[in-house]
Structure 1
Amino acid sequence: VYLPRLVACVFVGLLVVLQAQYEKYSFRSFPSNELMPLESAYGYALDQYQAQNWKEAIRYLESSLRLHRLLKDCQAFCHKNCSSAGRQEEIQFTDSELRVFSHVLQRASCLKKCKSSFPVFSITQPRKEILDAFEARVPYRYLQYANFQDSNLEKAVSAAHTFLQKNPADPMMLKNMNYFKTLFDVEEYLIDLEERPYESLFIKSVKLYNTGDFSSSVRDMEQCLVEYFKNYELCLAGCEGAYEVKEFKDFYPAVADHYADTLKCKIKCEDSLIPNVGGFFVEKFVATMFHYLQFSYYKLNDIKNAAPCAASYLLFDPSDEIMLQNMVYYRFYREKWGLDDDQFKPRPEALKYFNVTTMQKQMLEFMKNYMQSDDEVREQQLSQGMNEMDEAEG
């Protein structure tokens, strides 16, 4: 998106109070007069954008963002609410297959009942391409430029910043942001409109850590962990939505295809929840949180909490020499600090997360290896053979 130069008089004195599109949002009490198919709202917004009807484009872009969040929140709520459906009930079937599908049917019944209470599921559902665009924050690219053209510079900056949090290397948006910085002090308006609670907690905790306030840093980082795992569970639940049938197959292959798509989505949750701090994604985010906690607890002389955090970190980076040395140190002085064997085990939430993410990746790899069609296997073998020939010739 190209930003033409503005004449100074266009923006001087036009500072307005930012009103985020989620200011009065609630998925439980979404206004019925705002409810419409997400794809229709977004399509209309882009039509207005092309026609340079900036105010109308902004209105419907913001509306489509609310509708997208509504769909995600309702989806996650129902799947979370129905995740244990049938598990507590005594199942009479002795056949393992019947037991499994009894749980499936009970969960399906729960989902049907739950979704019937949310009107968003009674209207046309968006295509996967549309949902992918929203996950990549593409609407904010348009919202940024539309607000700029409508002289809402502060909202344009926030939209640009929100887009860059997901796409930090986008050259055009970086150029636009640099241009905004030549117009006025943008610091106050660098607001991520899609920020999740754990992201701000992480940044706050790290700042406290850097000032040596380890007690406050621990408090916020522990809360950051809680919020992160909550968002992770919601992301997993949101992956269990509608499935687009691309071809008719026998029962079990069809179920496997659906599960494979769901599994791919769930594996993406880990990456999609990584926060962007200062233009860089925090790799191994869960491990990083435990790294900060380990050192902070150590500085507070709370070794009973430091050691489990070190063990938790090593789940994700088992060859880290410094953390391995820390564990040796803790074991050497275990009697001095009154540590028992449980203190050298990973924390339960870390172990659960590690096991789930590891099993998901192993399961997907299994499906790739053993569920390919004959044509896919031949295509893969041909591609591999051509690559080997190219390498030999090179």
Structure 2
Amino acid sequence: MHHKELCVPFLLSLLHSFGHTLEPYDLLYDNGIEAYYRNDFHKVVYYMEMALSSFSQLRHTKMSCRLGCRQRFPFQVTPNDRDLNFASALLHRAACVQQCEEGSLGAQSRHRVTEDIKSEFHRRIPYNFLQRAYFKLNQLDKAAEAAHTFFMANPEHMEVQQNLKSYQDKSHAPLIDRERRIYMDEYQTGIKLYDQEQYEEAINHFEEALKGYYRADIECRTMCGGPQKFDEYEYVDYRATLYEGIADHYIQILVCEHECVRDLSTRPGRLSPIENFLPLHYDFLQFSYYKVGDHLKALECAKSYLLFHPNDLDVSENVSFYESLLSYYMDPTDVRPRKEAEEFVKRHRLESEILNSATEGLGFSYNEPEFWVTGGDRQDENRILSDSKLLDVTGLLSGKKAVQKIDRDLREGGPLVYDGIKLVHTSEYLNGTQRVQLDDVITEKECEELRGVANTITLAGDGYRGKTSPHTPNEKFEGATVLKALKFGYEGRVPMDSARLFYDVSEKARHIVQSYFMLNSTLYFSYTHLVCRTALQGQQENRNDLSHPIHADNCLLDPEANECWKESPAYTYRDYSALLYLNGDFDGGEFVFTEMDAKTVTASIKPKCGRLVGFSSGGENPHGVKAVTKGQRCAVALWFTLDPMYRELERLQADEVIRSLDQERKGRSEDLNVNPKDEL
């Protein structure tokens, strides 16, 4: 039997030899979080380490099964019955993958996890719990290792940065990033040696980095072969034909595979990839080989670089120079670029052609990023120090859409609409644009009444996808919507007048923001949330994190690139934001505006009853909340849009309830059309 046919059966027997199926990592993770809030730190370590191991094993198993089955059942094109041959290979491969995965993992449904959980593992959140647990258990070496691993993907997290420094002062063990990408380490080491003109050693590391990159590329592309994704309930009405269904799913996979270039070039915790990452390996190598006298490999690597940038005049001159050195004893035109680079670029361009064809023929929406462009100078970290003429590179683009200049006139200073409201600070005082601070928007009595509503109807994790501590483990977040308040009012669980007050003050805030910023079109609610955050006792000592990290409301803030990318998962349709505070009797919790570096504070505002902060939602207004270290901070948070397509659905339902209430009070309608047993 051919060795390829032995691959999968051997793998299956190996997987079955373990005698048990893999525990789902999301279940283990939840158990770890529960143990953390019980202060059972031994169990935290056990479950979090098990969750990380399960997450890793799940990925490794899926990858091994898919690669093994691909080798065993290749797609072969033959002149006769090629459709049947393709279908046969496809069905055999599917059965092979299913048998292989379920042999180790159990039923596939056991390992389906939410996008939120996937995101938390991608952001390395389990390591944050681990570093705290190891510290409590006085295992400082492991605490430092976990903190370092988390910090590498979350460099803005001030608390962990402080913890890490504290651990290092007490423990001198080397810091290890448990999730590091080896090829990136090799690349960075190669650059350091290159800058020190240690070219022989640099070559070894750049070559290892290339091998690691291409292995990672295979793994990344293999993991793209998951189930078809649908937007919300799109699958309910999905009625594609055979070819449409295959095309839809395949295009999703192809986009994922195509963008592995960006994923593999992006460091943990960063939004932007390392510029020109893969081509620069060949760039550094071509000059390093020249410096050690290996002109053949210098030419080979220079030609490999030109596959990515064929019009680069400087590297073309280097090629001519290397060819002149080799021409005395061989025909230099026989030297070709490296095979792996040729295959990579050929495949990448073919994928681009297919995706562009799909956008034209199938109505598929995809904007092809310019992954490699020339022009401009290298970044310092990628510079080449030499006497020869070498290339200028701008490098790998992120493919993200930067925030566009707002296409409306930016105005402010309009009337405040209601009597008694005080204009405290304008944009000029707050060191920005489209910012305002107002006082006495509501009275002390109204603040007290709304806090009473909050204490009755808010639920831990409401508005945060069920996460009790979505932004920091040191505070508990509770929230409720206007519609929920009205439902509780109708059921008699809170006074209806108090529930109505929540609705009315949010409308008041909307009118104020629309009028003050002198908007020519209607401002609609995008989301309305009554939220209280409470400092957790016993977790405030030496705290350096934020209650809500610095962010923008309609784009993804990228402090390193000094940009804000207006793309999913940001709420790109939000145009204005406002916060109406209900109290000030707590420690910390100041609202801050910053520069786009997310560090330089431009304005700090202390909440108090009746104070409102309003601002435009884009990258011009990065903001966050300092840690609440004692007490409870409550506010009505409001986000608005100028696009009626993105109006808040619950708000529209609340409007209907209010209209019914008003009609009932005036005796002009039937009973309120709300059944307390139904969801509103």
TM-score by length of 2: 0.46
Residue 274 of structure 1 corresponds to: 265
Residue 156 of structure 1 corresponds to: 143
Please say if residues 304 and 337 of structure 1, whose CA atoms lie closer than 8 Å, have aligned partners that are also in contact: no
**Residues of 2 paired with 1:227 and 1:369: CA distance?**
36
Structure 1 residues 360 and 131, CA, compared in 2 at 3 Å: closer, same or farther? farther
**Residues 217-266 of structure 1: CA deviation (Å, up to 9, x unaligned):** 32332232222211211221122134456513323333223223322332
**Residues 127-159 of structure 1: CA deviation (Å, up to 9, x unaligned):** 251334323323223333443444443333322
For structure 2, the residue ranges without an aligned partner over 5 or more in a row are 1-13, 367-402, 411-680
Which residue, 232, 245, 260 being the options, matches 2:251? 260
Tell me, yes or no, if structure 1 residue 126 matches structure 2 residue 109. Answer: no
**Residues 149-191 of structure 1: CA deviation (Å, up to 9, x unaligned):** 44443333322322343344xx2x2452145325534774421
**Residues of 1 paired with 2:405 and 2:280: CA distance?**
42
Counterpart residue identity of residue 176, structure 1: V
Alignment of 1:210-289 (within 5 A): 210-243=195-228, 247=235, 248-250=238-240, 251-274=242-265, 276=267, 282-289=274-281
SS at match of 1:240: coil
**Residues of 2 paired with 1:34 and 1:98: CA distance?**
35
Counterpart residue identity of residue 164, structure 2: F
Tell me, yes or no, if structure 1 residue 292 matches structure 2 residue 278. Answer: no
SS at match of 2:100: helix
Residue 166 of structure 1 corresponds to: 153
Counterpart residue identity of residue 283, structure 2: H
Residue 29 of structure 2 corresponds to: 42
Which residue, 47, 54, 57 being the options, matches 1:70? 57
Alignment of 1:1-394 (within 5 A): 35-87=22-74, 94-120=80-106, 124-129=110-115, 130-168=117-155, 171=156, 173-182=157-166, 184-185=168-169, 188-243=173-228, 247=235, 248-250=238-240, 251-274=242-265, 276=267, 282-336=274-328, 338-343=330-335, 345-372=336-363, 391=407
**Residues of 1 paired with 2:35 and 2:178: CA distance?**
22
What's the offset of the Cα at 1:287? Answer: 1.2
**Residues of 1 paired with 2:404 and 2:285: CA distance?**
47
Please say if residues 71 and 120 of structure 1, whose CA atoms lie closer than 8 Å, have aligned partners that are also in contact: no
**Residues of 2 paired with 1:194 and 1:70: CA distance?**
14
**Residues of 2 paired with 1:324 and 1:249: CA distance?**
52
Structure 1 residues 109 and 30, CA, compared in 2 at 3 Å: closer, same or farther? closer
For structure 1, the residue ranges without an aligned partner over 5 or more in a row are 1-26, 378-386
Structure 1 residues 365 and 231, CA, compared in 2 at 3 Å: closer, same or farther? same
What's the offset of the Cα at 1:78? Answer: 1.1
Counterpart residue identity of residue 226, structure 2: G
What's the offset of the Cα at 1:269? Answer: 2.5
What's the offset of the Cα at 1:307? Answer: 0.8
Q: By percentage of residues, which structure has more strand?
A: 2
SS at match of 1:141: helix
For the aligned residues, what is the CA RMSD?
A: 3.6
**Residues of 1 paired with 2:34 and 2:173: CA distance?**
31
SS at match of 2:180: coil
Counterpart residue identity of residue 50, structure 2: S
Please say if residues 162 and 194 of structure 1, whose CA atoms lie closer than 8 Å, have aligned partners that are also in contact: yes
Identical aligned pairs, as a percentage? 26
Please say if residues 236 and 266 of structure 1, whose CA atoms lie closer than 8 Å, have aligned partners that are also in contact: yes
**Residues of 2 paired with 1:141 and 1:371: CA distance?**
44
Structure scoring higher RCO (CA < 8 A, sep ≥ 6) equals 1
Structure having the higher Rg: 2
SS at match of 1:124: helix
Please say if residues 186 and 208 of structure 2, whose CA atoms lie closer than 8 Å, have aligned partners that are also in contact: yes
**Residues of 1 paired with 2:113 and 2:260: CA distance?**
19
Structure 1 residues 346 and 126, CA, compared in 2 at 3 Å: closer, same or farther? same
**Residues of 1 paired with 2:106 and 2:165: CA distance?**
40
Structure 1 residues 310 and 79, CA, compared in 2 at 3 Å: closer, same or farther? same
**Residues 349-387 of structure 1: CA deviation (Å, up to 9, x unaligned):** 0111222333334434443454348xx99xxxxxxxxx9
Residue 10 of structure 1 corresponds to: none
Counterpart residue identity of residue 293, structure 1: L
What's the offset of the Cα at 1:75? Answer: 0.7
Structure 1 residues 121 and 365, CA, compared in 2 at 3 Å: closer, same or farther? farther
Q: By percentage of residues, which structure has more helix?
A: 1
What's the offset of the Cα at 1:271? Answer: 2.7
**Residues of 2 paired with 1:121 and 1:139: CA distance?**
25
**Residues of 2 paired with 1:62 and 1:70: CA distance?**
12
What's the offset of the Cα at 1:305? Answer: 0.8
Counterpart residue identity of residue 148, structure 2: H
**Residues of 2 paired with 1:388 and 1:288: CA distance?**
30
Structure 1 residues 57 and 312, CA, compared in 2 at 3 Å: closer, same or farther? same
What's the offset of the Cα at 1:281? Answer: 5.6
Structure 1 residues 270 and 147, CA, compared in 2 at 3 Å: closer, same or farther? farther
Please say if residues 290 and 298 of structure 2, whose CA atoms lie closer than 8 Å, have aligned partners that are also in contact: yes
Structure 1 residues 124 and 314, CA, compared in 2 at 3 Å: closer, same or farther? same
TM-score by length of 1: 0.75
